[in-house]
């Protein structure tokens, strides 16, 4: 199978047109010490059926639901996806649609994104939603950079209870900028220690996640009031589980200036880590500093409703020095999946689903505590919680994997002080039988 259909003659003609003698000459602008000289160390080519067998064998080494009983969230959640979402998303006019540069032929795509913006704004209680970011981690990093642009300050504070990988992405974004990132510790109850803000000043933003990485629900109203004691500091809320806002108070109602996070839970399969959907919302007064793009609704000369690309702040659209983000995407297909999911469930359905997630986790947490295990963080939780096991549970955890049970995420690699602490998750997909079986295994 040829992936490059050009013949040698075709290539020679193209080289003559651009005025070079060889393909190597096309890379002459790249310094020699930055170019790889030796061949890539790649295995021999496989036939199509050999490659299929290789991929099947590789997939067999992975553990995922429903083959495994997975009590693991930590930013990626196993939820039922309504069949209507799967079927509609596979339609060719949806699956093949891309960036809507030409509104006269992209009305369906534009309307889908517009509806997505509307439902996300309602879910989070915010005024403006973009469409959209790569994932929750990059959305948080972009939110903090946006806060720097708005406030013209050079320092941000991020709760240590924010997802550790989100914080790592923030550090990566900020490393070459000269801006400072300060981390705020968490309290013994698992929530952010707001008292530490007293020692910080001249902040562009304070970022808190709720539910946070430990599953604990932060008091966003208290955080917002504390942050806004300085009227130039922006309050940024992050999330990795948006379904929680089916029952929790919305960030916008708690004083958030920017709310952002991961939308994978809304109709997007886990797929071993991607793709995701970065949700990003803010107050309207900051819209000119938002990254990404906005779809607007209007009428034409004949009074007919139409949709247009209203605001686009990427370097593809405007001068590079004016762009507010060069690393973002409209994630059109994932955003479309999310709006289908939200529309299919409706407000009542999302509220009922959120309550079910909360109740499942409450059952599992209570049962583990009744079995004698400690839940060290006493703050209210959503569908995740932390359990402390006696020393040596690492061996039991490995044994359970052999039985196709994923008994939580060990926290020590991310928080060295939390040795023998594990993060558990129970969504609506966890049955009572599965949870009871887990409890019997971990206390055996």
User: Tens of pLDDT along 68-93?
Assistant: 999 999 999 999 999 999 999 988 88
DSSP state of 155: E
Phi then psi dihedrals of residue 207, to 5 deg: -115, 130
- The rounded distance, in Å, linking the Cα atoms of 396 and 389 is 10
- The rounded distance, in Å, linking the Cα atoms of 145 and 133 is 14
Give me the domains of the chain, ranges plus CATH numbers: 69-81+347-442 (3.90.1150.10), 83-342 (3.40.640.10)
Report residue 138 as tokens: 């990059």
Phi then psi dihedrals of residue 216, to 5 deg: -75, 140
pLDDT in tens, the chain (444 residues): 456 788 889 999 999 999 999 988 999 899 988 988 888 899 999 999 999 999 999 888 888 888 899 999 999 999 999 999 999 998 888 877 766 777 777 888 899 999 999 999 999 999 999 988 999 999 999 999 999 999 999 999 999 999 999 999 999 999 999 999 999 999 999 999 999 998 889 999 999 999 999 999 999 999 999 999 999 999 999 999 999 999 999 999 999 999 999 999 999 999 888 889 999 999 999 999 998 889 999 998 999 999 998 887 766 667 777 777 666 565 888 999 999 999 999 999 999 999 999 999 999 999 999 999 999 999 999 999 999 999 989 999 999 999 999 999 999 999 999 999 999 999 999 999 999 999 999 877
Exposed, middle or buried by CB within 10 Å (0-12, 13-18, 19+), for 223?
buried
Residue 215 zone, left/alpha/beta (φ > 0; ψ -120 to 50; rest): left
Report residue 167 as tokens: 């914080």
Phi then psi dihedrals of residue 231, to 5 deg: -70, -5
Q: Is the dihedral of CA 86, 124, 168, 331 positive or negative?
A: positive
- The rounded distance, in Å, linking the Cα atoms of 411 and 415 is 6
Q: Are 211 and 425 in contact (CB under 8 A)?
A: no
- The rounded distance, in Å, linking the Cα atoms of 139 and 278 is 6
Considering only CA atoms, give the Rg of the chain. Answer: 24
Count Cβ atoms below 10 Å from residue 45 Cβ, excluding itself.
8
CA distances from 4 to 10, 13, 78, 247 (A): 11, 15, 39, 53
Helix crossing, 332-370 with 432-442: angle to 10°? Answer: 50
């Amino acid at each position: 199978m040829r992936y490059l259909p050009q013949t040698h003659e075709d290539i020679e003609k193209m080289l003559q047109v651009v005025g070079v003698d060889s393909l190597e000459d096309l890379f002459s602008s790249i310094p020699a010490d930055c170019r790889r000289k030796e061949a890539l160390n790649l295995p021999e080519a496989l036939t199509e059926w050999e490659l299929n067998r290789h991929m099947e064998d590789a997939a067999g080494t992975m553990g995922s639901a429903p083959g495994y009983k997975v009590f693991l969230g930590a930013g990626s959640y196993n939820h039922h996806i309504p069949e209507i979402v799967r079927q509609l998303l596979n339609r060719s006019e949806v699956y093949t649609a891309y960036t809507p540069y030409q509104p006269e032929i992209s009305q369906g795509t534009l309307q889908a994104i517009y509806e997505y913006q509307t439902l996300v704004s309602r879910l989070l209680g915010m005024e403006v939603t973009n469409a959209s970011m790569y994932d929750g981690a990059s959305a948080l990093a972009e939110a903090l950079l946006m806060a720097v642009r708005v406030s013209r300050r050079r320092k941000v504070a991020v709760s240590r209870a924010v997802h550790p990988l989100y914080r790592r992405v923030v550090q990566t974004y900020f490393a070459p900028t000269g801006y400072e990132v300060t981390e705020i510790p968490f309290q013994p109850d698992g929530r952010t220690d707001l008292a530490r803000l007293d020692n910080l000043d001249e902040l562009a933003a304070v970022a808190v996640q709720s539910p946070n990485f430990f599953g604990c629900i932060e008091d966003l109203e208290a955080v917002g009031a504390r942050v806004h004691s300085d009227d130039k500091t922006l309050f940024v809320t992050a999330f990795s589980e948006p379904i929680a806002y089916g029952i929790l108070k919305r960030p916008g109602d708690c004083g958030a200036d920017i709310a952002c996070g991961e939308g994978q839970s809304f109709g997007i399969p886990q797929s071993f880590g991607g793709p995701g959907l970065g949700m990003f919302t803010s107050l309207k007064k900051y819209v000119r500093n938002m990254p990404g793009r906005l779809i607007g609704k209007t009428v034409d000369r004949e009074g007919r409703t139409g949709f247009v690309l209203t605001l686009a702040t990427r370097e593809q659209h405007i001068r590079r020095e004016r762009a507010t983000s060069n690393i973002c995407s409209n994630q059109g297909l994932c955003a479309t999946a999310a709006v289908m999911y939200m529309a299919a469930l409706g407000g009542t359905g999302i509220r009922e689903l959120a309550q079910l997630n909360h109740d499942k986790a409450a059952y599992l947490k209570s049962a583990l505590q009744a079995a004698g295990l400690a839940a060290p963080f006493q703050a209210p939780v959503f569908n995740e919680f932390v359990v402390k096991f006696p020393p040596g549970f690492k061996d039991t955890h490995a044994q359970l994997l052999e039985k196709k049970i994923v008994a939580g995420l060990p926290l020590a690699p991310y928080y060295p002080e939390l040795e023998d602490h594990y993060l558990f998750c129970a969504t609506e997909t966890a049955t009572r039988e599965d949870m009871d079986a887990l409890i019997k295994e971990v206390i055996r």
